[in-house]
Amino acid sequence: MNDAKNLHVIPGGECRWEIPRFGGMRVSAVIYASEKMMKDILKDNSLQQVINVAHLPGIIAHSLAMPDIHWGYGFPIGGVAAFDMDEGVISPGGVGYDINCGVRLLRTNLMAHEVRGRIKELINALFRDVPTGVGSRGQIKLSEHEEKRILSKGARWAVEHGYGTSDDLKHTEDGGCMEGADPSAVSKRALERGQRQVGTLGSGNHFIELQVVEEVFNEEAARVFGLHSGMFVLLIHSGSRGLGHQVCDDYIKEMNRMSGQLGFDLPDRQLVCAPVHSTQGESYYSAMACAANYAWANRQMLMHWTRETFMRTLNISPSALGMELVYDVCHNVAKREIYTINGEQRMVCVHRKGATRAFPKGHPDVPDDYRAVGQPVLVPGDMGRHSFVLLGQQKAMEETFGSTCHGAGRLLSRHQAIKACKGRSIAQELERQGIYVQAAARGTLAEEAPEAYKDVVDVAEVVHRAGISTKVAVMRPLGVIKG
């Protein structure tokens, strides 16, 4: 990576590296990583993508990357960038194809040892009841009118139709509904793809994972979030399915047709973009918000059906199960947010591509009952190791536009992972570790093998040491269904 030859550790910065401005870069690039992790990061083209993002008009402060960085479309996955509302741009590649791919953590009244002998039964029941895999169809088919209501109302639509409670909305980022959504900005093809997929898990790295809280690091925050050691909890990871993919594809094609009118040269065609306040930029934002709302409705319904499956399988009442939402965060989104920049309050357009919001205590967008400690940050690992609950910190507001990591981050491409796992049974290997898995497609477990990912313990340690989000608790998997 010749373009990263000036990469150096920032003096006084904990786990922060910088590539100073050169060539057409408008700002420097800052990467959060340990020295050990940087050796792997240098093996792919992701740092060049961080440099490329630094070329875009209106970018503020730095082009940023979290420790789970790896190569993506346009922006690296793990990339964060904020743009001026007047001079900046919005880029579909800075959000990603799976708009509002995100994760929600559910706590229960159960201790892990109480259900340890029934993990297989629960996983098999979830695999039967929750549609998974490529092109999977949900339990309901939406009319176009109702689908557009979902795009406008997000998780609120699901709750209004009996899929959960208002408390779920309180503990969902943005209340499960992003402002600015306009269904007229969504294509007919995107609507068609979304009609049968709401309430489905999807494929690839999407999952429902049964876990035990293994260790608590911050007792106060854990108590506020209702978590304690030994508790049986679940993570649900899914996104906007085919609808979000189509929205991204539609606007990339549209912006490519108009790229000659941008007035500047793109360092990479995958960074195709439009001025934030242009007709095209506003239209993309409105369609992206619709896809984000679809994703929140999707996860809300997945949670509802998961809760029903547990009650039926365990023959347990809702109050005895006590399955409640701790929090839901999104990973792939662009948002209009206010930050203090050079001593002034300014609204900017923050792109988070495989990155998580990490707001600190006292922030008005943190739920009332969590505001005294800060926003929960959910960081899933791979299906063979750990996941973390972190806590948003003020330093994130000062350094990363309220952002932190979103997961472990890939080490191997899917093709490399399949090659590395040839002749092995990943399911049997995991079961020997006490983790029972089910997957919709034969190749999924190889693509998602633990060795295909960085160790999330290393990722969490970097952001903890850097002070942008700090460790609250770590969970260990017991059983997983994969798309």
Residues with a catalytic annotation lie at 406
Residue with tokens 């050796």, as numbered in its chain: 39
Pairing of strands 436-439, 469-482: parallel
What does the alpha-carbon distance between residue 365 and residue 386 come to, in Å, rounded to a whole number? 28
468 by Cβ neighbours in 10 Å (0-12 / 13-18 / 19+) ranks as: buried
- Nearest 5°: phi and psi at 261? -95, 5
- Region of residue 135 (left: phi > 0; alpha: psi -120 to 50; beta: else): left
Residue with tokens 């630094």, as numbered in its chain: 54
Q: Is residue 4 helix, strand or coil?
A: helix
Q: Is 34:461 a contact under the CB 8 Å cutoff?
A: yes
Q: Is residue 83 helix, strand or coil?
A: strand
What does the alpha-carbon distance between residue 409 and residue 456 come to, in Å, rounded to a whole number? 8
Q: Is 124:269 a contact under the CB 8 Å cutoff?
A: no
Quick one: which of 357, 459, 365 has its CA closest to 402?
Answer: 357
345 by Cβ neighbours in 10 Å (0-12 / 13-18 / 19+) ranks as: exposed
Q: Which amino acid is at 304?
A: H
Angle at 90 between CA 158 and CA 199, to 5 degrees: 20
- Nearest 5°: phi and psi at 166? -65, -25
